[in-house]
Structure 1
Amino acid sequence: MIPLLPDFPVILGVTADDASWLVTATLLSSAVATPIVSRSADMYGKRKMMVLCLAVMVAGSVVAAVGGSFLWLVIGRALQGFASALIPVAISIMRDELPKEKMGSAVALMSATLGIGSALGLPLAGVLYESLGWASIFWVSAAAGVPLLLAVVLVVPESKVRTHGTFDYAGAALLSGALIALLLAITKGGTWGWGSEPVLLLFLATVILLAAWIPYELKVRQPMVDLRTSARRPVLMTNLASLLIGFSMFANMLVTTQQLQLPVVTGYGFELNVITAGLCMVPSGLAMVVFAPLSGRIIRIFGGKTALMTGALVMIAGYVGRVFFYDSIAWVIVGSTVVGVGTAIAYAATPTLIMSAVPITETASANGLNNLVRAIGTSTSSAAIAAVLTSVTMTVGDTRLPSFDAFKDIFWLAAGASAASMLAAVFIPRAAGVHRPPASDIGAVELVVQGRVLAPDHRPLIPAVVTVLKTDGDPVDWSRVDTEGNYSVALPGAGKYLMVANAGGWAPMAEVFDFDGRTLQQNFMLRERLQLQGTVSAGGTSVSRAVVTLLEAGGGHVGATRTDGDGGYAFPLPVAGRYVLTMLHPVTQEAMAQKVTVDIRSITVDFEAPPVEDTAGERVGT
């Protein structure tokens, strides 16, 4: 739609600001659909969600083609936004179905299609518009969607790897509201004014909704987004890098066609028409197709972290080159293509990094969040580029046009974003990006085993994590328990597995699980509570009813208790850190204190108090 936006105000009889909703509507619907559809894919079936997305996209294309009015066109474009959720869901299906040796290149190509489709869609839209009219764009989308829909139904198997439970409707509603407010503020800020009341209110609504959503997600049984997993360093840094790569990538797409269409008199434009300028983006799209498998090879040999950093480095080289080499169409195409190659390599690495750091039963939703973060990066890029192009200008006759300094600023900004993504990648653990062997490597179908992690009194232990290993030590899957102590892990067929359950404040438990392919329930009962414990005595005699208090090193109160008849006391083991342990004798009021350093093991601290005074009022001992 981007190359055709200048013509739609005349075609539809609307303002240019109204016409921009043809892009904004798709952006907003995709932002809402991607996390919801991705989470639903993990819970209800990945093929089902692919069919749903394609069906809605086809319906939206038909509505836009036959609607005949601006309103129906916006509705159709919003329905088309559901197609964005296809990428994360499809990547998770690949993880379930493909053999290990094909995973890297397949996921790389699938992830890179986000850029490939955009690069090839720009010129195709221009050709269709000039030859067959604007409605043909939507008819072609519908015509492409129907056979794809049938192919998914006939060819793609439904995954048996499911996350059981209920969908988090409240979390989905809060997140959707926050995303709509944020993206609407970003995309309309330049038009409405960044300091205008509507934009400020949208940003305020974003903050309020996120402030409600985050604590809700942390306490709900099965959250829309597992924030604890998302906060793990590999996932957090990968998502941050994805946001920056998305920002950098979109700059290349937006400014290349603009530079090629600007008048020659500017000194850097080439005055090409929409179709020719779009065709100049084809080499970039084709290069992404060619180099995506290279990223798969880099991932397979060196890991996803190296691939991500390599892609970002290539993007930096492309943007720096565009600053100095811009005086011919060939140089513009070369610079754009180099950036496209870097984008393909970097984009291919992110789903691999995400899937290696999250449970198998959450791969679709985790990749959906990664795609969403990427989309926020591209939206921010669009707003930033528009601001630069309208503020750094030159006058040509009676027309104000962007100067080349504006393009240079954008190239440096995009290069800086790529460099920042490299910095984020530095903090991703080196082991990230290693593929788990899928079911096809073992000749069986993955099955989900569920259970609970419990205390001896059968109450759920939270927080807790269950990890599954092969008997040779290779990782299989892991799961964080929900608020009722439930976990779900995917096992690649029958066999023996080492299962480890670990909960805060309890000694971990490991046992071999001989999986017969039918027993899909395995509970853990952790029996040894880690404690800070000890005794209080005076003159070799146990002191009962003594007050023992645990304080943080900074003075904060943790807890207090009294010794029992044998002089013993115990606290649940607090989080690792430095503490002060105090004792107050119930008779003599003698007080004592000790510094204690707590790690992850039970600790024993005994107090030996001075003996009680004798009948003459003199102390016995010291």
Structure 2
Amino acid sequence: MSGPVDEQTGAQATVPDGHPRLAVTVLCAAGIVVALMQTIIVPLIPQLPVLLDAAPSDTSWALTITLLVGAVITPIGGRLGDMYGKRLMLLASMGCVAVGSVVCALSGSLLPFLVGRALQGLGFGTIALGISVMRDIVPPRHLGSSVGTMSASLGVGGALGLPFAAAIAQHVSWHALFWACAAAAVAGGVGIAFTVPQSRSRTGGRFDVVGALGLAAMLSCLLLPLSKGSVWGWADPITLAFFAAFVVVATGWWFVERRRANPLIDLALAIERPVLLTNIASVATGFAFYSMQLIPIQLLMAPSSSPNGLGLDMLTASLVLAPSGLLMFVFSHVSAHLTRAFGPRVSLATGGSVIGVGYVVFIVAIAGSWALAWWLMLIVACLIGAGLGIAYSAMPALIMRAVRVEQTGEANGVNALMRVVGTSTSAAVVGMILTWSMVTVAGPDGGAVTVPAESGYLWASAISLGACGLATVLALAIPPSRPMFVEDV
């Protein structure tokens, strides 16, 4: 057998015999650049009201608008990539990140800064598009490890973003931070232009504008209250109205899309058991992933006078957590070996279980009144990073086994969207729990500060552990597929 066989069409796929290492390296680097956009803003959030002369409630949109735009564009970009070429959409994505970074670097007020952050969000489909490109250009025996590396770029960029941003903002200038991002995006775009070939498989057809607008409205009605509910109030009429609008818009969008000849998202495919269970497991895994972005950093930076606080500064705390991103990269290759031996469903279940072990260690440490130390938080973060590396690499493998080659961009875009829904839900739920548990303690300067209580950390971690368990059970419920090449994905 000389090439991978598409299970649904039976067609022989044509991929190069040699490993396009340079193209894979460039795609992974582009994924890391885009992942940086999610975390570089975190060290600046407390300073933005002063830097941009705006209220804290307004500057918090600097994070929200990027995630919202990124969530909307990911499945749309995947569909456009299937129709008009993935390379073209990758170049457009990196161009948007570069322009958005320049706008942010030149901004001195809130409005242009938010425009720049929205433009950066338009690049968030890069990782899903990169995974789809790899199915076109990477030979079967190398596809699993290449896809795993591309998936892990999300964690690597996220882990490196905090210390990178903290160091530049602290020792140089916050404007320099965005100039550096612009340069990285330009370099990524040039690399893609010279190393990534044009897509050979395209779906053609007309773009579903109605479906895209409906998807944007639906996601806005869901993600806006999830992001702002803690500010507006969860029982506030505005919050409830957005959730009600989401139900109405989602229902209408579903019926309209089912009747369209060329829908934005193939809903018949989306509800097939392998795809549906993988996407639900992705929501649960995304929830567990973002919880670990929120919980340890607060413990590490909480004053030592607070319950379990370690009193570290932002740069030191982010350096403690950075190795977890590197382990995510390493264990993405472990996931490829597991997939070759046992299939991607076992890899996803294994990843969920390893993440769960990390949360168990954390819960036992808090509940058992252990003396927390930075090295214990490092162990917990590394366990969760290793599990995420395994799980995130298995998800696109499961998706690509269930869809035709020309549907890869769309299907991976939807799967990436499910992870965004999981992270947004995690931010809302964990943030709400930690806020409700706030206690007042003495700060390092003698003044009073509010920090989450021990009970808040316990409840947030327990819910995240439940999400890991759900992802593991769903992974094992995915029906085993007839193996093509186990190395394929």
Q: Given that residues 233 and 427 in structure 1 are in contact (C-alpha distance below 8 angstroms), is that contact kept between their aligned partners in structure 2?
A: no
What is the aligned partner in structure 1 of residue 16 from structure 2? none
Q: Which runs of structure 2 are paired with 1:103-502 in the superposition (5 Å)?
A: 103-325=143-365, 327-397=372-442, 398-431=448-481, 435=485
1:400 is paired with a residue whose SS is strand
Q: Given that residues 353 and 433 in structure 1 are in contact (C-alpha distance below 8 angstroms), is that contact kept between their aligned partners in structure 2?
A: no
1:4 counterpart letter in structure 2: L
Counterpart Cα distance in 2 of 1:293 and 1:434: 20
Counterpart Cα distance in 1 of 2:427 and 2:482: 31
Q: Structure 1 segments of 4 or more deviating over 4 A?
A: 432-438
Match of 1:60 among 100, 104, 111: 100
Give how far 1:433 is off.
7.4
Counterpart Cα distance in 2 of 1:437 and 1:253: 31
Counterpart Cα distance in 2 of 1:362 and 1:229: 10
Change (3 A) 1:85 1:179: same
1:356 is paired with a residue whose SS is helix
2:378 is paired with a residue whose SS is helix
1:281 is paired with a residue whose SS is helix
TM-score w.r.t. the length of structure 2 is 0.88
Give how far 1:267 is off.
3.4
Structure 2: gaps spanning 5 or more residues? 1-40, 367-371, 443-447
Change (3 A) 1:433 1:139: farther
Give how far 1:226 is off.
0.4
Q: Percent identity?
A: 39
Give how far 1:435 is off.
4.7
Counterpart Cα distance in 1 of 2:469 and 2:335: 19
Give how far 1:434 is off.
5.1
Counterpart Cα distance in 1 of 2:230 and 2:295: 17
Q: Which runs of structure 2 are paired with 1:503-582 in the superposition (5 Å)?
A: none
1:425 counterpart letter in structure 2: A
Q: Given that residues 155 and 329 in structure 2 are in contact (C-alpha distance below 8 angstroms), is that contact kept between their aligned partners in structure 1?
A: no
Question: What is the root-mean-square deviation of aligned Cα atoms in Å?
Answer: 1.3
Give the structure, 1 or 2, with the largest relative contact order (CA under 8 Å, sep 6 or more).
Answer: 2
1:277-310 deviation per Cα after TM superposition (whole angstroms, max 9, x unaligned) = 1111111011112111001111111111000000
Name the structure with the higher strand share: 1
2:122 is paired with a residue whose SS is helix
Q: Given that residues 356 and 432 in structure 1 are in contact (C-alpha distance below 8 angstroms), is that contact kept between their aligned partners in structure 2?
A: no
Structure 1: gaps spanning 5 or more residues? 439-622
1:396 is paired with a residue whose SS is strand
Give how far 1:325 is off.
2.9
2:305 is paired with a residue whose SS is helix
2:264 is paired with a residue whose SS is coil
Q: Given that residues 305 and 433 in structure 1 are in contact (C-alpha distance below 8 angstroms), is that contact kept between their aligned partners in structure 2?
A: no
TM-score w.r.t. the length of structure 1 is 0.69
Give how far 1:394 is off.
2.6
1:461-520 deviation per Cα after TM superposition (whole angstroms, max 9, x unaligned) = xxxxxxxxxxxxxxxxxxxxxxxxxxxxxxxxxxxxxxxxxxxxxxxxxxxxxxxxxxxx
